[in-house]
């Protein structure tokens, strides 16, 4: 009989222990995820931790969203005939850079190494006195908007080395 009492006591004690351990694990996980939730959502809370009003573009998930509106492409800074103007100017200059004299008219990939630069930095002004045919290296060294970005781009994609190869081959 005493063995039955001790057995029953240990079963009840064991169940209580398992219950308390499970409860402690539950509160621990709840505290950790609560802290993570507070960390993730803090930018969206108003003063004193009260959630702020939803943004004006908020659409509840149960409603349908309006159809997206079409927005036109931003207009180019260049004139509509820029491709024709620049090609003609390069042809008139014999596909040579006006600074270093490298010839860039060989293959199609070589022709891409020659740019047309606007001296006054106004892409709308296509007057011949305002244009220069420049290889990408000389173009990247000119002051103006976007030329610093061009300098990084031609180094990373290999165009700088292509121009250097052409210069060496042509003795320039």
In a domain, 113, yes or no: yes
Q: Which of 83, 85, 131, 136 is nearest to 110 (CA)?
A: 136
- Identify the residue with better confidence: 107 or 91: 91
List, for residues 24-60, the tens digit of each pLDDT value: 889 898 888 888 877 777 666 666 655 556 556 655 6
Q: Do 161 and 93 sit in the same domain of this protein?
A: yes
Enumerate the β-bridge partners of residue 133.
116
Contact 65, 56 (CB under 8 A): no
Distance, CA of 170 to CA of 172 (rounded, Å): 6
Residue 168 has pLDDT above 60, yes or no: yes
Residue 90 pLDDT class (50, 70, 90 cuts): very high
Strand, helix or coil for residue 172: coil
Beta strands in the chain (DSSP E): 114-118, 131-135
For residue 109, the enclosing domain spans 82-170
In a domain, 58, yes or no: no
Average pLDDT along the chain: 79
Q: Which tokens in the block code for residue 74?
A: 């931003």
Residue 6 pLDDT class (50, 70, 90 cuts): low
- Residue showing tokens 């190869």: 165
Contact 101, 172 (CB under 8 A): yes
Distance, CA of 144 to CA of 6 (rounded, Å): 91
Please count the other Cβ atoms lying within 10 Å of the Cβ belonging to residue 41: 11
Q: Do 88 and 165 sit in the same domain of this protein?
A: yes
Please compute the mean of the pLDDT values over residues 129-152 and round it to a whole number. 82
In a domain, 37, yes or no: yes
Q: Do 38 and 100 sit in the same domain of this protein?
A: no
Please compute the mean of the pLDDT values over residues 72-81 and round it to a whole number. 75
Q: Do 88 and 162 sit in the same domain of this protein?
A: yes
List, for residues 106-118, the tens digit of each pLDDT value: 888 888 889 999 8
Distance, CA of 103 to CA of 10 (rounded, Å): 95
What's the total number of domains in the chain? 2
C-alpha distances in angstroms, 66 versus 57, 58, 60? 11, 12, 12
Computed on alpha carbons and rounded to an integer, the radius of gyration of the chain in Å comes to 36
Where do runs of H (alpha helix) occur along 59-143? Answer: 82-92, 108-111, 136-140
Please compute the mean of the pLDDT values over residues 116-140 and round it to a whole number. 89
List, for residues 9-31, the tens digit of each pLDDT value: 666 667 777 888 888 889 898 88
């Amino acid at each position: 009989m005493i063995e039955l009492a001790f057995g029953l006591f240990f079963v009840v004690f064991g169940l209580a222990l398992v219950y308390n351990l499970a409860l402690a694990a539950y509160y621990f996980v709840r505290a950790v995820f609560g802290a993570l939730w507070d960390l993730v959502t803090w930018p969206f809370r108003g003063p004193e931790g009260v959630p702020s009003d939803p943004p004006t573009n908020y659409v509840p998930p149960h409603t349908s969203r309006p159809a997206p509106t079409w927005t036109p492409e931003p207009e180019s800074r260049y004139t509509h005939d820029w491709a024709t103007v620049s090609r003609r100017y390069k042809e008139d200059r014999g596909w040579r850079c006006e600074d270093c004299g490298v010839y860039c008219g060989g293959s199609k990939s070589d022709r891409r190494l020659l740019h047309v630069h606007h001296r006054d930095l106004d892409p709308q002004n296509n007057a011949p006195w305002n244009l220069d045919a420049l290889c990408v290296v000389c173009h990247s060294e000119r002051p103006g908007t976007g030329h610093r970005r061009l300098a990084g781009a031609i180094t990373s994609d290999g165009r700088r080395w292509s121009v250097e190869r052409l210069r060496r081959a042509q003795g320039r």
